[in-house]
């Protein structure tokens, strides 16, 4: 089943529609990023708030935390 001459207008219309949708998608995502995500990130940085509470402690020899194995081994079957 090859394509016929009658399919050409449909292919052109589909191409134009997909191009328009791609541009619209890019516009919506860019608006969300620059209008929501970026300002919130800048406000958090300006407030000098560290959500992960990362601090340097020069007196510590290492930041390594020891692994504590779980007491109840049956939890392995149900991770959530």
Does the pTM surpass 0.85? The reply is no
Please write the tens of the pLDDT for every residue from 45-56: 888 777 777 788
Query: Torsion-angle region of residue 26: left (phi > 0), alpha (psi -120 to 50) or beta?
Result: alpha
pLDDT of the residue at 57: 87
3-state secondary structure of 66: coil
Q: Provide the pLDDT for residue 12.
A: 93
How many Cα atoms sit within 13 Å of 6 on the Cβ side?
A: 0
Residue-wise pLDDT tens digits, 25-41: 999 999 999 999 999 99
Average pLDDT over residues 41-66: 85
């Amino acid at each position: 089943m090859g394509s016929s001459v009658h399919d050409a207008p449909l292919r052109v219309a589909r191409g134009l529609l997909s191009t328009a949708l791609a541009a619209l998608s890019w516009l919506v995502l860019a608006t969300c990023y620059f209008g929501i995500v970026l300002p919130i990130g800048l406000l958090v940085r300006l407030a000098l708030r560290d959500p992960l509470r990362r601090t340097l402690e020069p007196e510590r020899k290492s930041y390594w935390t020891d692994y504590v194995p779980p007491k109840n081994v049956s939890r392995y079957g149900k991770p959530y």
